[in-house]
Amino acid sequence: MIKAILIFNNHGKPRMSKFYEHYTEDTEQQIIRETFHLVSKRDENVCNFLEGGLLIGGSENKLIYRHYATLYFVFCVDSSESELGILDLIQVFVETLDKCFENVCELDLIFHLDKVHNILAEMVMGGMVLETNMSEIITQVEAQGKMEKSETLTLLFICQSMRQSQASRFSSKIS
Amino acid sequence: MALKIVKGSIDRMFDKNLQDLVRGIRNHKEDEAKYISTCIDEIKQELKQDNIAVKANAVCKLTYLQMLGYDVSWAAFNIVEVMSSSKFTYKRIGYLAASQCFHEGTDVIMLTTNQIRKDLSSPNQYDTGVALTGLSCFVTPDLARDLANDIMTLMSHTKPYIRKKAVLIMYKVFLKYPESLRPAFPRLKEKLEDPDPGVQSAAVNVICELARRNPKNYLSLAPLFFKLMTSSTNNWVLIKIIKLFGALTPLEPRLGKKLIEPLTNLIHSTSAMSLLYECVNTVIAVLISLSSGMPNHSASIQLCVQKLRILIEDSDQNLKYLGLLAMSKILKTHPKSVQSHKDLILQCLDDKDESIRLRALDLLYGMVSKKNLMEIVKKLMLHVDKAEGTTYRDELLTKIIDICSQSNYQYITNFEWYISILVELTRLEGTRHGHLIASQMLDVAIRVKAIRGFAVAQMATLLDNAHLLTGNTQRNGICEVLYAAAWICGEFSEHLEDPMQTLEAMLRPKVATLPGHIQAVYVQNAAKLFATVLQKHEGETDSQAAQETSQLLIDRLPLFVQSANLEVQERASCILQLVKYIQKLQQKNVEVAEEVTALFAGELNPVAPKAQKKVPIPEGLDLDAWINEPPSESESEDEKPKVVFAKEEPKHYRSRHTEVDEKELARRREVRKQEQANNPFYIKASPSSQKVYDAPGVEHIPVVQIDLSVPLKVPGMPMSDQYLKLEEERRQKEKAERKKKEKKKKREKRGKGRKADSGPESEEDITPAHQVDIVTEEMPENALPSDDDDKDPNDPHKALDIDLDKPLADSEKLPVRTHRPEVLKSPAEDRDSKSVPQETKKKSSKEKKEKKKDKEKDRKRSKEEKKKKKKHKEVEEELLESQPEEAVQSEETKEAAAPPTSTSAEEVTAPSSAAAVDTSSAAAPESEPDEPKDTEPEDTKSSKHKKKKQKKEKEEKEKKKKKRHHHHHHHGDAGGEDSVQNGTVEEEEPLPPMSNYSLLAENSYIKMMKEDAEQVYDIQGNHQDESKVVVSVIFENKSDSFLKSMEFNVLDSLNSKLQRPEGAGPHDGLTVPFQLPPGVSNEARFVFSVQSIVMPQKLKGTLTFIVKSDESSTHEKLDFKLHFTCTSYLITTPCYSDAYAKLLESGDLKGSSLRLEGINMPFHHLLARICFHHHFSVVERIDSCASMYSRSIQGHHVCLLVKTSDQTVSIDAKCDEPSLLGNVLDEIKQTFSKC
């Protein structure tokens, strides 16, 4: 099981957090701070695994992270997950983000938190890995994006027709 | 309506959206908190607006703020509103927000049940997907119970996208509602062989997660997984399966043997490191499970170790780390194979990566032997000096102590060396582990009698140099060792060379700066030292010195009497008075030493840590029984008794030791000797190298000549390194001596069991520098030798420890939405169905009774029951409160009008058939035996059913309750009829369950049941005038043959059309997406598009299928009629009373009315029936009058005013479409004419 997925930047500012167990907002922030503290002091060329922090689950859990430019992607997992598998999953996640945002950068994540969540939801569900095939993930994300777009288009269409009818009513009044 | 949308979208242009919010926060870096609080105020305003777009935008911003750590739970209700939007865009925002901030304590969650259910059955797969994803984050036990069946149905959805999500979420459902595991498991198992790899992987994932916690229940799946492992090419799936096997093998060694070969093949063939690593891990697990010594497996171990070595040597730090991790698993069972890689592991200790160093440390633990312990510890001590961070250094410190103290100091040959190490460790600055070192010092000094002299000398040095340890406040952690030092010096003061000096050191004024508990020990042990000094001086008849000592104490102790610490104060003043008294006696030249020493006479024995737990409870003593009635419920229940025991416990066991008499001691010594003789690790003394030391009560303890060339007196810094050299020399000497002895054909036999061969130095050849008697820890005499590691009783996974191979009992079916009786419903069934809630009610009242009874005995359980009761109540209430689709926890699924074919013969087979059809979707097929029409067998049937149910409960509850249950169930059966006849039923009475599955058609091969078309959607967008209706049909195979190629076809009418896939002609049938083995049933959904909804419709259809038996296969067909009632086009829509009033005032609505005579059911039943069967919601209810509202899928408003007096019910109705209203009223009339 994956217990939490955190994205924060080099200064520890959270960019996305997804907890698969309930914590209060304060504890969540504490966990993010603690995790950042643990992860940030590690050198670049050391291993990507870390004995879990004290807050999430304790000794049974592991932090598996990757550092990309300004962002840390941290997965907190228990012993049932394969360490190398999760590392691959992080890679898939980041590549998917890259495809969906076209050259993803930190700003994309900041301004489109909901989209990041939606992409993640196609990969991990309730702490369990749902899909690891990148093209499948992208297909589903795009299909949902299309749906959203068509809905907003319909809305616009209705708006337009309303405006027209209003206008015609208005003109009929005048005449 | 549309106007509102426009208005909303214009409003929206002025609102901040998420991007604006983020930008704003970034622009207000200085006063971020202030800016956000104004934003939250804005959001609150936005949430107050009616427009859903504005609300969704606000909720989206809240999601962002939640991530930043702001509590947004106040907006929970608004989130629910956004979730229930019909637009996917908003729905998704709502579900995302809910998944981020809802949890079990969120009270609005219970409002979401119906919304989620609606979304789950949405024709749009992404609505369903979003709902599943959201639900996976905030599922509660109630939601799990109510939705389990819906989710289970989705597991057979036609879209793999939904299937895989439904499969995954089942794990969460199981956790929250363990009862669902058994009924859902067959289908879950089926999904292991799903054609879609994603679904398969999800199923593997869920089962692995389940099996990890309770592996024994999943052993029967091993062959299936084995097949998957050899056939699958998906690495994710393989990894999961291989991990699962790792959990299963310890339970079934035969499985392990089978696994070795394919795993070895995988190890050789795979290029994926992750897979390789997991294979190695599982092979290790297999090897551990196979009792070692299987010769043909040594190759496997070699293979593993060799692969791991490659990993460790890899430049990739991750592989290195994992290699070490796996290595430590091998270590436990095959230490020899790992020890040969000691060089590699020691090398890893120097790695720059802390994670890797820590893993290497773990490995060291298992690699030490008598031979290399000193060498390894020396290396670790070097690291301690070099270590930069305190965490790693502390880790090193604990590891050193762990390594040395493991298995009763098994590897320590020279305790002087160990004490020196401990003393050296006290030099660590700022360590947290002072107490650990202290407890080691105490343990060694107490248990290794031979070392006491040396230990005392070292401790005296420590005390003398206490300023080195306490000088710096940063070193506070380490001053704990002074506690041990003081105690050791006091307790074993007879070994002190210069007790006076130590006494002075202990009474220095600086001691007062130490923590209280240490000072207390100082004071107490100063008294012990005092006794020793007195004895010494009186022995030398040096009364002057003795009196000086007393004076010293009298001078110094007042400092402690003033201490703020109560313990110190008390001890100091006692001792001060005592010393004053002694001084008086001394001045009279009375010899007091003897008596003072007697104060501290007697030896303390170490007590095993588990000793208290192992004291058997005397018969008749119930520790859980209340001594006094607990005061009130509000006080925390567990706390109180615990405190009582915590206080009493130490008292008990201290007294145990003072009472030990001589005889007992002798007996224990005998036992201990016996034990030692049987202990292979206990090294017997060789008489040649020991001096006999005669002391009463002490065994022949060898005493070592302390080499005085060792500079013991270096303050606080004994040189442990010296021992290494000494040890080398000693071993050499010993070896030579032994050889010499050998040549002389030794006259004396060496110690029992000691080998004396002169081969290369082996483990056993290393004799300890001095024989030690490691005093075994004391245990109560008749301790039970149980070693049960108690599991955490709060582990949620414990509830999932369920036997999955047992056939599914009727009573275990998932709660299904209560179903509506259909047109053809027989009165007998209706009656039967009545008995069900009756029973639930009985149950809850019974629980009430039980609660009272058990209150004193088990408060916790009663609390649970209360909760349960509450749940029952909730269900009832919800039904009342216009939530007609709410599930009632009834297992029965009644369906209409089965021909009276089922006889008692069929009943006999009922349990077994129920077992056979465990792949069934809903409960429908399983309830088949419940269906006979004639009342006679029906009654026996239902009582039989109850018995079955009762059986299950028997398992769960205690046996003594069984009788009561029995009684109640039978009562419940009879009560079914009562409730119908008895007009005056109390308000609390639960509602009769209502069924909405009706028989569609049936022949000897197949039975079709239709769920009342309740999933009605109005499709968004341009199809304004067309609505869609989803019909669920359950197909059940009644024959012994296999049914396949089922095609479902309906003759379309002008008004209603079956939705066919693109490209299909208007007369083509729809292929049913499954096949039916004998006895199995499954559910399929068909979508119809309907244009006008004001009239009920009937559609003729045919189902064609192929019956395939062993000999032949025939084409068969079955005709049926689909009936769409007008009510099925109504959607339950809540309406507020003011809006309702406005609607009625508007005057657009046309009226009609209806009178029903002879209705003798309680009013709330009546309302619930209308709500449930006809999709209305109660707007307002005053006494025996209620207003109700519903809306059609095409937006017609339907308002009812229901009044009742005596047995007459009058319904005044208004609707903007008179023909629709007329039809609905007819249908209502029909419903009530049936009861």
Q: Which residues of B touch A1 (CB under 8 A)?
A: 209
Q: For tokens 């339970």, what's the residue?
A: B251
What is the C-alpha to C-alpha distance for residues B576 and B614, in angstroms, rounded to an integer?
40
Degrees, nearest 5: CA angle B99-B100-B104: 65
Q: What is the pLDDT of residues B13-33, one digit of tens each?
A: 556 788 888 888 888 888 888
Closest residue in chain B to residue A15, using alpha carbons only? B67
Inspect the interface and report whether the beta carbons of B317 and A20 lie closer than 8 Å: no
* Contact at CB, B168 and A128, closer than 8 angstroms: yes
The sign one gets for the Cα dihedral B757, B760, B764, B769 is: positive
Percentage of residues of chain B with pLDDT beyond 90: 7
- Average of pLDDT values for B1113-1137? 79
Provide the CA B334 distance to its chain's centre, in angstroms: 32
* B672, two tokens: 């201990």
Sign for the pseudo-dihedral over CA of B1129, B1134, B1140, B1146: negative
> Minimal CA–CA distance to B173: which of B165, B446, B407?
B165
**Gap from B13 CA to chain A (nearest CA, Å):** 13
Listed ranges A135-144, B245-254, B360-369; the one with the highest mean pLDDT = A135-144
CB distance A163–B6 less than 8 Å? yes
What count of other Cβ atoms lies within 10 Å of the Cβ of residue B741?
Answer: 16
Contacts 24+ apart (CB under 8 A), A147-151: A147/B88, A147/B89, A147/B124, A147/B126, A148/B88, A148/B89, A148/B92, A150/B1021, A151/B87, A151/B88, A151/B89, A151/B1020
pLDDT at B598 over 70: yes
Q: Which of B92, B236, B1021 sits opposite A154 (nearest CB)?
A: B1021
Minimum Cα–Cα distance from B103: chain A residue = A22
* Cα B840 from Cα B871, distance rounded (Å): 11
Question: Which residue did the predictor score with more confidence, A139 or B646?
Answer: A139
Pairwise CB contact (< 8 Å): A29 & B353: no
pLDDT at B1082: 78
Check CB contact under 8 Å for B273 and A84: yes
**Gap between the Cα atoms of B804 and B186, Å rounded:** 9
Inter-chain CB proximity B69 and A26 less than 8 Å: yes
* Eight-class DSSP state of B919: T
Mean pLDDT of the region B1050-1077 = 77
Residues B1111-1128: what's their mean pLDDT? 80
pLDDT at A56: 67
Q: Residue B411: which pLDDT band, with cuts at 50, 70 and 90?
A: confident
* Cβ pair A68, A94 in contact under 8 A: yes
CA angle, B621 then B627 then B632, to 5°? 140
Write down how long chain B is: 1235
**Do B182 and B189 contact (CB within 8 A), yes or no?**
no
Residue A171: pLDDT over 70: no
| Residue B124 pLDDT exceeds 80 | yes
The residue in chain A having the minimum alpha-carbon distance to the alpha carbon of residue B56 is: A114
Report angle CA A29, A30, A36 to the nearest 5 degrees: 90
Quickly state the pLDDT bin for B660 (edges 50, 70, 90): very low
Question: B373-386 and B390-409 helices cross at what angle (nearest 10)?
Answer: 160
- Cβ B353–A111 below 8 Å, yes or no? no
Which residues of chain A lie closer than 8 angstroms to B239, CB-CB?
A: 82, 85
Q: Does B168 contact A162 at a Cβ distance shorter than 8 Å?
A: no
pLDDT digits over B89-114, tens only? Answer: 999 999 999 999 898 888 888 888 99
The label of the residue with tokens 């028997």 reads B954
Contacts of B169 (CB under 8 A, 6+ apart): A125, A126, B132, B135, B136, B139, B151
Calculate helix-pair angle for B317-333, A83-101, nearest 10 degrees.
Answer: 160
pLDDT for the residue B879:
42
CB contact under 8 A, A159 and B9: yes
- Contact assignment for B318 to A84 by CB distance below 8 Å: yes
Taking a C-beta distance cutoff of 8 angstroms, is the pair B1188, B1133 a contact? no
Among B79-83, B1022-1026, B1231-1235, which is the least confidently predicted range? Answer: B1022-1026
What average pLDDT does chain B have?
72
The pLDDT tens digits of the residues spanning B1022-1040 come to: 344 567 777 777 788 888 7
- The pLDDT tens digits for B841-850 are 444 444 444 4
CA distance A73 to chain B (A): 15
More confident: B487 or B912: B487
Banded pLDDT at B473 (limits 50, 70, 90):
low
Alpha-carbon separation of residue B90 from A152, B80, B964 (angstroms): 11, 11, 52
Mean pLDDT confidence for B196-225: 88
Query: Measured between alpha carbons, how far is B131 from B127 in angstroms, rounded to an integer?
Result: 6
Residue B856: what pLDDT? 46
B436: which 2 tokens? Answer: 């650990």
Q: 3-class DSSP state for residue B1153?
A: strand
Q: Which of A31, A50, A63, A82 to mutate to test the interface with B (most CBs of B within 10 A)?
A: A82
Query: For position B345, what pLDDT does the model report?
Result: 85
Instruction: Mutation target for B interface from A6, A17, A21, A25: give the one with most B CBs within 10 A.
Output: A25
Query: How far, in Å, CA of B419 to CA of B451, rounded?
Result: 9
Per-residue pLDDT, B631: 72
Backbone angles phi, psi at B824, to 5 degrees: -95, 15
For B445, the 3-state DSSP assignment is helix
Q: Is B203 helix (H, G, I), strand (E, B) or coil?
A: helix
pLDDT, residue B357, reads: 84
Alpha carbon of B376 to those of B340, B342, B400, B765, B831: distances in Å? 15, 10, 9, 19, 81
Contacts of B738 (CB under 8 A, 6+ apart): B756, B758, B765
Reply yes or no on whether the pLDDT at B1008 is more than 60: yes
Structure tokens that stand for B1233 in this block: 């004419």
The contacts of residue B1016 (CB under 8 Å, 6+ apart) are B1027, B1028, B1029, B1030, B1128, B1129, B1130, B1131, B1193
B92, amino acid identity: R
Chains A, B: CB contacts within 8 A come to: 162
Judging contacts by C-beta atoms under 8 Å, the chain A residues touching residue B74 are none
Give residue B30's region: left, alpha or beta (phi > 0; psi -120 to 50): alpha
In contact, B123 and B1017? CB cutoff 8 Å: yes
- pLDDT above 80 (res A69): yes
- A chain contacts of residue B6, beta-carbon cutoff 8 Å: 158-159, 162-163
Least confident of B564-568, B770-774, B830-834, B1066-1070: B830-834
Asked if A51's CB is within 8 angstroms of B355's CB, the reply is yes
* pLDDT score at B472: 56
Is there a contact between B337 and B301 (Cβ–Cβ < 8 Å)? yes
Q: Do B355 and A136 touch (CB under 8 A)?
A: no
Backbone conformation region of residue B893, classed left if phi is above 0, alpha if psi is from -120 to 50, else beta: beta
Given CA atoms B642, B647, B650, B654 in this order, what sign does their dihedral have?
Answer: negative
CB atoms within 10 A of CB B733: 10
Which token pair is B882?
A: 């216009």
Q: Which of B67, B164, B273 sits opposite A130 (nearest CB)?
A: B164
Give the whole-number percent of chain A exceeding pLDDT 90: 43
Scanning B49-124, the segments in alpha helix (DSSP H) are 52-67, 76-83, 88-101, 113-120
CA distances from B1137 to B880, B941, B1141, B1180 (A): 17, 46, 6, 7
Contacts of A143 in chain B (CB under 8 A): 126
B-chain residue closest to A165, CA distance: B3
pLDDT at B769 over 70: no
Per-residue tokens: A74: 């941290």
Q: Could you please report the per-residue DSSP string of A71-134?
A: EEEEEEE-TTS-HHHHHHHHHHHHHHHHHHHTS--HHHHHHTHHHHHHHHHTTEETTEE----H
- What pLDDT band is residue B789 in, cutting at 50, 70 and 90? very low
Choose from B16, B89, B1018 for mutation: most chain A CBs within 10 A. Answer: B89
Residue entry with tokens 């690593």: B277
- A126 and B171 within 8 Å at the Cβ level: the answer is yes
Q: How many angstroms separate the CA of residue A60 from the nearest CA in chain B?
A: 14
Mean pLDDT of B325-346: 82
For the record, the structure tokens of B728 come out as 């080398």
Q: What is the pTM of this model?
A: 0.56
Kindly state the helix (H) or strand (E) to which residue B567 belongs, with its residue range: helix B566-587
Q: Do B274 and A143 touch (CB under 8 A)?
A: no
Higher pLDDT, A53 or B801: B801
Dihedral, CA of residue B421, residue B423, residue B429 and residue B430, to nearest 10:
100
* pLDDT beyond 50 at B886: no
CA torsion sign for B294, B300, B304, B306 is positive
Tally of CB atoms within 10 A around A61: 22
Mean pLDDT, residues A97-114: 89
Residue range B437-467, pLDDT digits in tens: 888 888 888 888 888 888 888 888 888 887 7
Q: Which residue of A has its CA nearest to B321?
A: A47
Task: Provide the shortest C-alpha distance from residue B210 to chain A (in Å).
Answer: 11
Among B324-333, B824-833, B978-987, which is the least confidently predicted range?
B978-987
Q: Which residues contact B184 (CB under 8 A, 6 or more apart)?
A: B148, B152, B155, B170, B173, B174, B814
Query: B167: distance to nearest CA of chain A, Å?
Result: 10
Residues of A in contact with B22 (CB under 8 A): 110-111
Which chain A residues have a beta carbon less than 8 Å from that of B353?
43, 46-47
A145: amino acid identity, one letter: G
Q: Can you tell me the mean pLDDT for B505-529?
A: 86
